[in-house]
Amino acid sequence: MSRSVISCTLVSLCLLVVNSLSAAKPVGKKYVYKKVDDRELALYVTSPKEKSDTPRPAIVFFHGGGWTGGSPGQFTEHSKYFATRGLVCVQVQYRLLDKKGKEPPVTCVQDAKSAMRWVRAHADELGIDPNRVAAGGGSAGGHLAAFVGMVEGHDAPDDDHSISPKANALLLFNPVFDNGPTGWGHQRVGERYREFSPFHNVSADDPPAIVFLGDMDNLIPVKTLEAFEEKMKADGVKCETMVFEGMGHGFFNYGKFDNEPYRKTVIACDKFLNELGWISGPPTLE
């Protein structure tokens, strides 16, 4: 089987995982964070019901879909839960690539950085602590979350570059963060992979991360996760990983496997954020 056929097959697998979630709707208040030509890009903010006199931490979620599909609703249940734990949660819409094209995900990463900047610029209005903004995402959305935490460059020209888009923590669900010659997405980025691949941009100033993967994932081998963890820790960066036996790509999504992986990954994220001092008390999800 040719490399191009394999690449197309893998993209199709990504889309199949996300298609089951396409009916999920994002929750929270809708804001337009960016206009591109005549198109408005939205994000959805879910805030805790209880009022707080102190700024809250936040999570900005990016959906998966191979950079060519998916919708913000993928992380609706995550947003609803973490709002009950005192976090402001944001679900982001971003521009998608042409399924038949070969262009690199420049617009995707630009929009991801624009969304992070918008959240920080509106921190007072949203009751957010701008120094505690995590990025979370699954698959290609995990790539975008890792990108805004780890990779410099590809800022949208019209952004306010005085505002940092850098995430302060990363919640990564089977992220396609290796775009190198043996990684996912290389057919789009080619020899420019170092511009896009978080795996190839690990440095000591990266934010702490927790990463989840199934050992039957067809897109991301466990050895890639192990190598990523080793590189992060070698640079002194906190990195926790969890590998789920018998699970494939997208195993973590709400509604799959009686929600057991969803609960386990959410509880692990809860404990991770507790370790960072962002939230307190035990997880409320059983």
- Per-residue pLDDT, averaged over 232-257, amounts to 98
pLDDT of residue 23: 55
Percent of the chain having pLDDT more than 70?
A: 92
Note the pLDDT tens digit of each residue in 161-213: 999 999 999 999 999 999 999 999 999 999 999 999 999 999 999 999 999 99
pLDDT of residue 221: 97
Q: Is 286 a member of any domain?
A: no
User: Is pLDDT at 22 greater than 90 in this prediction?
Assistant: no
The model's confidence at residue 286, banded by pLDDT at 50, 70 and 90, is confident
- Per-residue pLDDT, averaged over 60-68, amounts to 98
Q: Is 283 a member of any domain?
A: no
Q: Is 284 a member of any domain?
A: no
Q: Which residues contact 131 (CB under 8 A, 6 or more apart)?
A: 168
User: Is pLDDT at 153 greater than 80 in this prediction?
Assistant: yes
Q: Is 36 a member of any domain?
A: yes
Whether pTM > 0.85 for this model: the answer is yes
Q: Is 87 a member of any domain?
A: yes
Q: Is 282 a member of any domain?
A: no
The count of structural domains within the chain is: 1
Q: Is 271 a member of any domain?
A: yes
- Per-residue pLDDT, averaged over 83-93, amounts to 98
Which residues are 136's β-sheet partners? 61, 171
Residue carrying the six token digits 């959906």: 63
Q: Is 214 a member of any domain?
A: yes
CATH number at residue 179: 3.40.50.1820
Note the pLDDT tens digit of each residue in 259-271: 999 999 999 999 9
d(CA 116, CA 167): 8
Are β-strands 88-92 and 39-46 bridged in parallel, bridged antiparallel, or unpaired? antiparallel
Q: Which residues contact 203 (CB under 8 A, 6 or more apart)?
A: 150, 235
Q: Tell me the residue range of the domain where 100 lies.
A: 3-275
